[in-house]
Structure 1
Amino acid sequence: MVYQPRMRKRVNAYPIRRAPDGSAFQKCERCGRSVAIALADMHECESNNSLKKLKRPRQSGNVKSQNIEDQPRSAFRFFMEELLDIHKEENEIAIDSKGFEMWKKMSKQARQPYLVKAEKVNSAHTKALLEEENDMSWVK
C-alpha cells in the first residue's frame, strides 16, 4: 500500500506589530500608560480614570499584626485543635479520622462549647473587618 503525500497548508504568518522603537508596547498619548500594541484598539483612557480606588490609610508602626488565633474558624476546627493538643504523640492522619468519627457521634450538648467559641471568634473577626472598612476612605 502506497501512502499519498499530504498536502501542506500554507500559513500566512503576519509580522507582529511593533512600535517605532521595536517594542511590542507603546505609550498612550492621552493617559501616558504603556499599552500592548495588539490591544491598543481596545484601550479606553476615560474608563481607567473614572474608576474609584480604595485608598487605605497609611499604617503606623503600632499596627496590630493579625494572628491565626484571630481568624474565623468552625466549631469542628476548635474541636480538632483540642484533640490534636491531647494526642500529640499519635499519627495526625489517625487523629483526624478518629476526631471526625467522634464529632459525628457527639451530641448537641457536647458540641455546644465549641460552637460558642467559634461564634465568639467569628463575631470578633467580623467586627474587626467592619471597623477596618469604616476606617478606609474612598477616593476618585
Structure 2
Amino acid sequence: MAYQSRSRKRVNALRRGPDGSAFQICGSCGISIAIALADMHECESKMEVRKLKVEEVGFRFEVEQRFRDEPRSEFRFFMESFGKNYDTKNYIEMDRKGSETWKNMSSEERLPYVIQAKTVNDAYYEKLLKESED
C-alpha cells in the first residue's frame, strides 16, 4: 500500500516590528504592547477622554432617572428603604437580614411597599401605552 502525499500546512508568522521584536511601544502612552494586539490597544489617555464625555452628557443621571421609572417589586422597594436605614457596608449581611425581615413581616406591614410598587408599575405601563400609540 502506498501512502498519499499530504499537502503541507501553511503557518502564518507573527507580525514583527522593525527590530524583530513582537512588541512595540505605543506612541501616545509609552506602554509596550504586542504587535498582534496593537489594534485593540486603548491608551489610558483615550479612556480618560471617554470618561469625560460620558460625565459631560450626564449619562449616569439618565440611567438613574430611567431606573426610577421602571417597574419593581414590593420587595425591591423594601430593600431600598432597608438599605438606607442599615448602617453596615456589608451588602451580603444586609441582604440576608433584609430578606429575613421581609419574610417575617405581616401583610399589613408590607402594604406601603405594595402600594408604592403598584403606583410605579401603573405609571410605567401607562407610559408604554402612550409610546405605542405614538
TM, length-normalised to structure 2: 0.51
Give CA-to-partner distance per residue, 1:33-59, whole Å, 9 cap, x none. xxxxxxxxxxxxxxxxxxxxxxxxxxx
Tell me the equivalent position of 1:86: 85
- Give distance in 2, aligned partners of 1:88 and 1:68: 24
Residue 68 of structure 1 deviates from its aligned partner by 1.0
User: What residue identity is the alignment partner of 1:84?
Assistant: G
Structure 1 stretches lacking a partner, 5+ long: 1-64, 136-140
Structure with greater helix percent: 2
Identify, as 1 or 2, the structure richer in strand: 1
Measured in 1, the distance between the counterparts of 2:96 and 2:88 equals 15
Aligned to 1:69: 68
CA apart distance, 1:87: 1.3
Q: How does 1:1-140 map to 2 (within 5 A)?
A: 66-135=65-134
SS for the counterpart of 2:89 is coil
Amino acid at match of 1:112: L
Consecutive unaligned residues of structure 2, counting only runs of 5 or more, are 1-61
Q: How far, CA to CA, are the matches of 1:121 and 1:88 in structure 2? A: 27
Q: How many residues align?
A: 72
TM-superposed deviation, 1:67 = 2.0
Kindly provide the amino acid, as one letter, of the partner of residue 124 in structure 2: H
- Report deviation, 1:89: 3.1
Query: What RMSD over aligned residues (CA atoms) do the two structures have, in Å?
Result: 1.6
Deviation readout 1:82-130 (Å, 9 max, x if unpaired):
0111114331100101010110110000000000000000000000000
Structure 2 letter corresponding to 1:122: N
Matches of 1:129 and 1:82, distance apart in 2? 27
C-alpha separation in 1, matches of 2:98 and 2:133: 40
TM-score by length of 1: 0.49
* Structure exhibiting the larger radius of gyration computed from Cα positions: 1
